[in-house]
Structure 1
């Protein structure tokens, strides 16, 4: 009897959750108020991190900016102050070093307070073939793109759990859903970031800490300079993403407690196709869309940046 009742309950809830998701596709969920929240953004000295800082500050949040580039931080702070809303604090932090993360995290907790929205945005890309990638850069890619998430969660998650309130945002990549050539370390780091965020989300649910939300963001190439030189084979179908659009979508996803955000929308087909297509068929599609060798034209940001 218990087996029957539990199975019936699962079936009913599955149907309910599916219908709920369909409704939210037509009628978006109500956006939560982030005014007064303390939002920490890593990699805030440029690109998406800078845009997110400005957008969250304009909504009345206190933004805490981390970056290894002090000049970049100063520029972001200036842009945030121009909004005239929210407060801004900046810290130079090397997200490839665990002890630096813990040290600066302690400063933030003492000087600003408990972080309630954590956005792991800092990332690097090497863009070389596997055997041409220096060991030191492979290690740094994993440290910044993956391991930093472990240390920031350890630093700020306890307070979120204690209050049963918070939001963990992982800026991953479509490269965390499907491998591509000349990005083995980058893909590995993003696959790991996605898996880590999913695991922590399940852990929070098992602990009944439903007030601690998770958003995993997997965008295609964004025109921030990080992937300069990479161009879509069919730009009308899969175009490089506008940074302003991406930042706006991320803020909306956080405010609506959206668990997963893939950009562009066609990217939602990728996990589905991988689940049943033969490998040769999947590779054929990757070749057709030019995703198998998209890094061949990779240049990246100029070294002076």
Structure 2
């Protein structure tokens, strides 16, 4: 009995001695694969940084939007109107949608006077049924939408300063929920054809809390999440012909001629017209940038605020607080 037990121990020892090098080899192999993956990620990350740096001096070429069917929600005034006008001037077929019939028709008339193509639809897109009816009507009249610009929910300087916050449901419906419904209606066709562009416009409220505007800030942050989720969805499904551009608009920078603003650091911020803002947005869209801002240089400030410790970001926000006031 003792001899049998001893023989068994010897056999077991031989087996374990034989398996030990195999385990070591497997661990070594796994470690090698991990190291190769890490090196691959680091090298590609460095290449991406170098490419981004190169594109600062030599940006990608502008793509044509001629004969694209561009849906502009909120085209009755402000940046939305100027985006619609400039898209039409570039040769796009512009679908102007706004709940204000008079303002929207003025936009269409301006476009048609220049000999460009535009059509007006009057809908309140805060209703899901209205969004579905709008999508059905557009598909019947014009076919597929290839570009979607959602210009609702971007506040003006006056609204940020003087208007009380909207009801939370109204704010979310206008800024986020309606946008989701529109994407749900038009994105599947873009994916099927592997061609299209979705533009998400957010305000500074999506980068930093605006006093007394918590519902708006929450909704604007959510729009950013929606845009980034769309980008990931397209990447995972390997759809490279549909693009998403997230644009941060600083309302205090865009002068809508209704306020006389005094900024804390005028030389840094300055003001631009809604036409200039629309031109900047369309340039970023035509270069297929995933993220942009108006004005452009403030995009890097947004990136900086994301990576610094909170105490540091609070100090920077206090320093660059627009301190907007009516002169």
Do they superpose with TM above 0.5? yes
Give the TM-score normalised by structure 2: 0.82
| Alignment-derived partner of residue 183 in structure 2 | 153
2:97 to 24, 49, 66: 66
1:49 aligns with 2:80: yes
Moved more, 76-85 or 56-65: 76-85
Give the TM-score normalised by structure 1: 0.88
| Alignment-derived partner of residue 301 in structure 1 | none
Structure-2 separation of matches of 1:129 and 1:39: 33
Structure-2 separation of matches of 1:133 and 1:274: 26
Structure 1 residue 129: Cα displacement: 9.6
1:243 aligns with 2:270: no
Task: Say how many residue pairs are matched.
Answer: 290
| Alignment-derived partner of residue 9 in structure 1 | 40
Contact 1:101 1:151 survives alignment (8 Å): yes
Moved more, 103-112 or 8-17: 8-17
1:112 aligns with 2:142: yes
CA shift in 2, pair 1:246/1:127, >3 Å: closer
**SS at structure 1 position matched to 2:240:** coil
Which contiguous aligned blocks of 4+ residues in structure 1 show a shift greater than 6 angstroms? none
Contact 1:57 1:83 survives alignment (8 Å): no
CA shift in 2, pair 1:91/1:231, >3 Å: farther
**SS at structure 1 position matched to 2:198:** strand
**SS at structure 1 position matched to 2:209:** coil
Contact 1:47 1:224 survives alignment (8 Å): yes
Contact 1:220 1:240 survives alignment (8 Å): no
Structure 1 residue 220: Cα displacement: 1.0
| Alignment-derived partner of residue 49 in structure 2 | 18
Computing the radius of gyration from Cα coordinates, the structure with the larger value is 2
Contact 1:54 1:83 survives alignment (8 Å): no
CA shift in 2, pair 1:249/1:133, >3 Å: closer
Contact 2:97 2:121 survives alignment (8 Å): yes
Structure 1 residue 134: Cα displacement: 5.5
Structure 1 residue 140: Cα displacement: 1.2
The C-alpha deviation readout for 1:135-186, integer Å capped at 9, x for no partner, is 3xx3211111111110010010000000111101011112211112122122
Structure-1 separation of matches of 2:63 and 2:85: 18
The C-alpha deviation readout for 1:87-112, integer Å capped at 9, x for no partner, is 21110111221211111111011111
Structure-2 separation of matches of 1:230 and 1:145: 25
The C-alpha deviation readout for 1:233-261, integer Å capped at 9, x for no partner, is 11111123321211111111111101111
1:208 aligns with 2:247: no
> Whose helix proportion is higher, 1 or 2?
2
The RMSD of aligned alpha carbons is 2.2
Gaps of 5+ in 2: 1-31
Contact 2:165 2:213 survives alignment (8 Å): no
1:285 aligns with 2:321: no
Contact 2:165 2:212 survives alignment (8 Å): no
1:196 aligns with 2:226: yes
